[in-house]
Structure 1
Amino acid sequence: MPRTEMMLRRQEVLADFGDLALRSNDLDEVLNEACRQVGEALGTGRAKILEIERGGECLLVRAGIGWDPGIVGRMRLPMEERSSETFAIRAGEPVISQDIGKETRFEVPGFMKEEGVVALVNVPVFLPGGRAFGLLQVDSTEPREFDEDDARFLRTYATILGPVIDRLRMHRELRSTEERFRLTVESALDYAIFLSDPEDRITDWLPGAQAVFGWTAEEAVGQPAGITFTPEDREARQDQEEIETARREGHAPNVRWHLRKDGRRVFIEGSTRALREADGTLRGFLKIGQDVTERRRKDELLRESEERLRQFGEASSDLLWVRNAETLDFEYLSPAFEAIYGAGREDFLGRGAQERWLALILPDDRDRARDALERLRGGERATIEFRIIRPSDGELRWIENTDFPMPDGDGRVRRLAGIAQDVTEEKASAARLEVLVAELQHRGRNILGVIASVASRTLGDGAAVDTFQARLQALSRAQGLLSQSGSDTVEVGALVRAELAAHVDSHPPRVEIAGPRVRLTSAQVQNFALALHELTTNAVKYGALRGGAGRLTVSWATGRDAKGHRRLSLTWAETGVDIPPEAATRRGYGRELIEKALAYALRARTEYVLGADGVRCRIDLPLT
């Protein structure tokens, strides 16, 4: 091709590229078209653009024409290699190689040799400010004497290409920024964001504003921004004062109740900012506010709750306390602390108070107090008693602590809390009561003995008297067990064994007794003992304990009913008994006691069955 024609053709290529650069915002399209144009202009049909990436560590084949698809967009060349590409970028000048087989300045990458490249010409591409972007290179698979004219053409092309790349990069980043802004604004539905003009009429109403205030964009645009203010604030000109403050100072706080389209009120925390041109001309206002109505409601409820707790703590004679779970220092002590502990509250709040508190506790009780706090830290509840020496008067006082952990929303124990009572008087009262109970039980036994004696003398030696006396003795045995326990409870097994021991040998071979340790209260013991007495005497007269032929099993267990309450279930089972005819039809006081009196007095459920070979009785009653 004649030189003049070649020059004109290359000028057309540059003009065509200029047109493309003006109308296209797609960087990949521009780079690939650039490769096509220079490849055709230099007559090889093969060209590529390499981009420096990853902090200058490698070159990416960003665009290309005439190359295998697996190379463009994927092939990367390390910058430290002695390739023609890295050589050209570091030199900052065009590089011409008419025969790469004779090249000593650099090494040709393997993928180019595989493609049959034998000659090349390239120029570095710089962005405005001299920043290196990469390389524009034309390759030939046939011998080619690239010359300075070729290099100048590529250099001119690269000079145009650099600013175009920079512009499209900025355009892409701007579009990305705008998209991120759009997504952020559209997803922030608890933020009301809108714009108004210098007269404060709404010009842009974003999705968050619609979600918070209820008006659609069609309804809101053109309206004064004051429509979101409450009637009383508009009457007080608060909407106008806010705008004037923003106009004068650049911004104004907007923290107040606002009005929704449906008439409901929302509390907004936000601000209004003035928007100005570069010359200071006011363009309008940007209003951003978060709907914190629910948070404000919860804060008010929390403040009310804290105030009620404070009032309760101030009025309570019990001590309310809160500790930091990590340091164990007290964070709150109600006024009752001073009366109970005999020391000033201020001396026990803050750092180091834990040791001062432990110093008040008797040494024998300190480990128990420490262990309770450790259990609280682990999430357990604890109720403990310990003794202190009250500094104000030197008295020994008993303290009962009911403690519980206070976890946060994630379940981590952040604070410990509790209620403390001075139970010194209760301890003394309990001790006095034990003495009185023992005395009362002693007197009760004496009275029952007197009753038995009087009944014996009055009624003579008949069968009725024997029965009456035996029953009184059963009650006396129950009272004796109450006295032995030192409390107002008796163990079921003790009752059963005592009643059997009163009528049969101490270790009868055909009697089996089995069950866990379960205690009945004094209110339950009397009737339960009578029921056992009736079952025992019946077994002696007619059943398993008559003549040694039968077998008796007395067993009991505990369980819970549908409401979770503890219950005792006792089974009296006789086997191997020949029931006399008179016993099969007999229905005396004992059975009446079991089936009716227990149900009335103990809220028990009973089952009494006289089978072919003996009695089977089941008594089920609640445990208190």
Structure 2
Amino acid sequence: MNETGPDTTDEVQDRRYRAIFECAVDFAIIATDRDGRVMDWNPGAERVLGWSAEEVRGRPADFFFTPEDQEEGRPQVEMQRALHAGRADNERWHTREDGCRFWASGEMMPLRDKDGTHLGFLKILRDRTPQQRARERQAALGALMARMRDLDDPYGIMLVAAEALGRTLGVHRVGFFDVTDDYTLSFTVGWADGTLPLIVGTWPATRIGTAYLAEVRKGAVIAIADTTRHPLTTDSAFAEIGTRALVGFPVIRDGRWVAALYVNHAEPRAWSPEEVAFVEAVGGQAWDMVQWAGARAELRASEARWRGIFEYMHEGFALCEMVYGPDGTAADFRYAEVNQAWERLTGVPSDETLGRLASEIFPGIERFWTDTYAQVVETGEPVHFECQVASIGRWFEVYAYRTEPGRFAALFLNVSERKAAEERQTLLAREVDHRAKNALAVVQAALRLTKAPDVASYRTAIEGRIGALARAQSVLAQDRWAGADLRRMLEGELAPFLGAVAGPEARVQLTGPRVAISTRAAQPLTMAVHELATNAVKYGALSVGAGRLSVSWRLESASGGLPLLRLHWVEAGGPRINAQPQRRGFGSRMLDGTVRGQLGGKVRLRWEASGLVCEIEIPLQAGSGLTDTPGFSAAD
């Protein structure tokens, strides 16, 4: 007989799981029943979240979710996902017992017994706030670099950097100062959130403290949590300007302290190593950009200074020599030297570039490049141009100068994103021009065809029709010219007559699914609805207090399987209609022209005794203009 001894395998395994549960102090491990109530809460959960196991046992396990996540039912959604998929991964903000938020990465999984019976859930999460903050700081640094690259003014670069740094770290004041040869601090530019005033003017360097001055002259980045208690600032004037905590980033050039970036806080604050590293990164990048902005201005006057600033450039730089054919004409050019930014901007490693011809690196490169650089070398005239290297699909903005006979230098930026944005802007301008012409054509038709007994009536009619056109443009603009929501269009057109089109007491009822109307169809359909609304207010159901209007719509399949929009306009409770009008006015012609002529649809008018009934059909087919792309959006 094979005996297992006093401890069964299950008991050993249970003790092992319990040991893991208790020892995993870096992980919050929470066990709940099937209803999501806390059954077990490990020491890691106490450390990460702050509550003790006794405080939370039996509570619904949603109290450490943020209020907004609780309101949206995220805990319940997470349990359902875990139950159906076997696990639910997530990264989101949670709250601790003291109310502070932290970023957590975790997962939830269902707990089952050996027979597969669902017993509850197990949630495991870990505090990843430092990693999230690092990602946020990295994103802020990337956005800052993009902004600074577009600036030529050194003061503008420093101001952008100071504001970005201040807002990202949540501090009260950030700024820059220059250091003169006699160690006078000249405060150049800064940013403050209003808690502390900006620092202006000049200071003798001794005001920052003798010990502090000695350290920054060595190039040390200094972070002080409380200036009133730190030995480096006991004899400083920081208290006079409200600075209790600070980070100082000195700029050392050729062994001399020449400038600094300072970060000030009005209250004591412990700086994390990541925050100090972020200050260093921003300070270094900002200073490099400031230097490059000044250097770029000098380069326009003296090409010989390219070599002096070569290593400080964030823009791409290449020193090249022309290659000529047997007949003496420029045939190619060879790369003699490139900077580190070259590889980032072109995607070609620098070690695969030096000494090679452009035609080898970029097969099929456009002849324009060789001809343009040859002109620079032969005439000595610098050029500024933009051109695409089709083989790598990138656009570059280039400044090229002759440095010596047969050689030239090229400073360049990757402007592919800007070129794409300009192309989109050009397309948008064409679209706006097209729509403006269409709008003017509608206005012209309204002016020509509107009939009225007197000037005042004529003006009212014209203003209403042009107002409808303007409202259509506004709805399209709100949706970024991607189309207009049909319900919003109807509400916007009917609200001026009634004040509101919603609620149980509303005189107008709108019923139908969500339908996106294309930019081409929105204007004519709005004009058609305006004519119907104007007629209802002047002669129909909306001309009396007891009148009511119902507008409904639905989507159907027409012959051939094409979608069809049906709009049903029904008036009731207005003046009794005894017969169909004999005269066909502008409104009727507008309905027919827009629905039939522009949208390829049908319109039917019935003058029933209880009020006007209008049925509009608009097919979704080529040329109908209902949508800009195949299909349409519809939702209940």
Q: Which has the larger radius of gyration?
A: 1
TM-score by length of 1: 0.29
TM-score by length of 2: 0.29
Bigger RCO (CA 8 Å, 6+ sep): 2
